[in-house]
Amino acid sequence: MKTIKVMAMVLLTSAITFIACQKDQDTVQNNLETETVARPWNMLTYKEMIERLEYYDETRRPVLEQALGYEDTRLNYYSIETIENYIKYVKQLSKEKGIEVTGINFVSGAYPKDANYGTPGYQHIMFMPTTNIDGKQICFDPVQSTDKKIVTVKEMLASFGYNWVYGSKEDYENRNIVEKKVLNNFKKREEISDIKSGGANLGTFCPPYNVID
């Protein structure tokens, strides 16, 4: 008789626990379903989209096709998980070093035609996180930065001999002036060991079609 009472108590406790857990799950699910987000300020209407697409078709596509001999990449696809993971990783690294991430720049690049990686000859975009430096949104490297110094993308590219001119209006206006140390690093780039950056791009591009980078 005592055994039966114990079993009954165990079953009753299990049932109560199951119901409580189920209610918690229902609450979470309901919260997810009822959560609303206001329409972002930068959303477009279809007429606004078409206006931009047509102007690109008229002014960019013919020029690029004539120069390249084919239509260059128009779409850059990244899964939601890829984008979310990148943002989380960048924010995590930056938080550890006391750096505020203010945004992400999407920067145009292109694979060399003789490249044995990516989509040779085609354009792609790269992610570069930004932070506020002297009131300007500057691309920085969360991998190479420390808690004592923010390392900018301009600095890192210069160490490999590339003159990055898109950090500020002043840089762009003086884009034809290249520092001597940048030129020297360019000459010895092949001798410099490669290192990890805070940038990213691996995705799927089209055209061309059926190519995964």
Residue 2 pLDDT greater than 60, yes or no? no
Q: Assess contact for 175 and 163: CB atoms under 8 A.
A: yes
Residue 10's pLDDT is: 41
What is the per-residue pLDDT across 167-185, written as a single tens digit (0 to 9) for each?
889 999 999 999 999 999 9
Residue 212 pLDDT greater than 70, yes or no? no
Residue 213 pLDDT greater than 60, yes or no? no
Of 198, 176, 80, nearest in space to 130 by CA = 198
Q: Give me the chain's average pLDDT, please.
A: 85
Residue 117's pLDDT is: 86
Mean pLDDT of 190-195: 92
- In sequence order, what are the residues at sequence separation of 6 or more whose Cβ sits closer than 8 angstroms to the Cβ of residue 142? 90, 93, 94, 97, 99, 101, 129, 198
Mean pLDDT of 67-78: 93
How confident is residue 34, by pLDDT bands cut at 50, 70 and 90?
low
Instruction: Please give the radius of gyration of the chain, using alpha carbons only, rounded to the nearest integer.
Output: 26
Q: What are the domain boundaries of the chain? A: 1-36, 40-71, 75-206
The token duo for 116 is 């044995």
E strand or H helix that includes residue 46: helix 46-59
- In sequence order, what are the residues at sequence separation of 6 or more whose Cβ sits closer than 8 angstroms to the Cβ of residue 141? 151, 152, 153, 156, 197, 198, 199
Predicted structure pTM score: 0.76
Percentage of the chain exceeding pLDDT 90: 72
